[in-house]
Amino acid sequence: MSRLQKTFSALHARHEKALIAYIMAGDPSLEETESYVRQLSEAGADVIELGVPFSDPIADGPVIQQAAERALRSGTSLKKILATVRSLRMKTQVPLVLMAYYNSIFRYGEAAFCRDAAAAGVDGLIVPDMPTDEAGTIHPLAEAAGLDVIFLLAPTSPSERQSRVARLSRGFIYYVSLTGITGAKLTDKVDVEKKVREIRRYTKTPVAVGFGIATPDDARQVARVADGVIVGSALVKLVAEGGQVSDRLASFTRSLKAATLPA
């Protein structure tokens, strides 16, 4: 069982939902990322998603775009992020998932990346611009390395794509709550419930919902219908604002985690 599977099944046994927290690696520096990861985990995040900064992040809104720019300015690279993961693994067992655009992985080399990421202690991989159709070469490499490739589904996905992603996704399925980019506002929570139910017809793999979840109240509503809630831009914003970042991240994370506990 992978670390992600174990986490979801332990949560399930406790009737809890997963809180998946996203921050941009290297924003403002990898040293700080390392300490943020530990604080997020201690404050209750069940899975941490680390963004790999890319120059042209087409799935991201302004908050994460600017975080990527800051991370690139601080000299962050995929190689250095893997070193940070290696260092984190000596201190924490929280599942770590990388969210990277495909070109970062392609340039690193798919085989080398899968090998190095798994060796460093990365558990899963989300590639927002790599639909299942383009994952033919990386999927077996990742599977052999023990890396969970997490695919996304969207409100526009027809049933044949839902079933395909349900079959191929490992760890969890990332359901994108809205047609749009990260940091947009989620308005139609009824539709989310309907879609999550549709996806569950095809699989027992957990379904986590992301995009547009900005408050504990959003998290509570989504946690009612999904196996996990993913919060990104709201956390990245706290990092961007500076000040007592660690304390504010921790207290916000605690309030989000509370929203995923059984009522």
Decide if residue 138 touches another protein (CB under 8 A).
no
**Of 46, 49, 116, 123, which is the active-site residue?**
49
By the rule CB under 8 A, 153 interacts with another protein: yes
CA angle at 33 for the pair 27 and 38, rounded to the nearest 5°: 150
129 lines the binding site for another protein (CB under 8 A): yes
Task: Write out the binding residues for another protein, residues 54-73 only, by CB under 8 A.
Answer: 54-59, 61, 65, 72
Given the residues 27, 46, 60, 227, select the one marked as catalytic. 60
For residue 228, the cross-strand partners are: 18, 208
Applying CB under 8 A, among 180, 193, 224, 254 the residue interacting with another protein is 180
- Asked if 40 and 247 touch (Cβ cutoff 8 Å), the reply is no
Distance (Å, whole) CA 137 – CA 205: 22
What value, to the nearest 5°, has the Cα angle with vertex 95 and ends 89 and 97? Answer: 100
**Binder of another protein out of 78, 99, 214, 239 (CB under 8 A):** 78
Among 13, 14, 15, 158, binds another protein (CB under 8 A): 158
Is 60 a known active-site residue?
A: yes
Task: Please name the helix (run of DSSP H) or strand (run of DSSP E) that holds residue 249, with its range, or none.
Answer: helix 245-258
Q: Which of 36, 108, 172, 252 binds another protein (CB under 8 A)?
A: 108
DSSP for residue 186:
P
Q: Please state whether the peptide bond connecting residue 57 to the residue before it is cis, i.e. omega within 30 degrees of 0.
A: no
Please report whether residue 149 would count as binding another protein according to CB under 8 A.
no
Candidates 24-32, 104-112, 202-210, 237-245; binding stretch for another protein (CB under 8 A): 104-112
Are the beta carbons of 57 and 68 closer than 8 angstroms?
yes
Residue 218 host element (H or E): helix 216-225
Catalytic annotation on 42?
no
Calculate the dihedral angle through the C-alpha atoms of 110, 107, 162, 12, rounding to the nearest 10 degrees: 70
179 binds another protein, rule: CB under 8 A: yes
Nearer to another protein, 20 or 152 (CB): 152
Binding site for another protein (CB under 8 A): 54-59, 61, 65, 72, 77-79, 102-108, 128-131, 133-134, 151-158, 161, 165, 176, 179-181, 184
- Catalytic positions: 49, 60
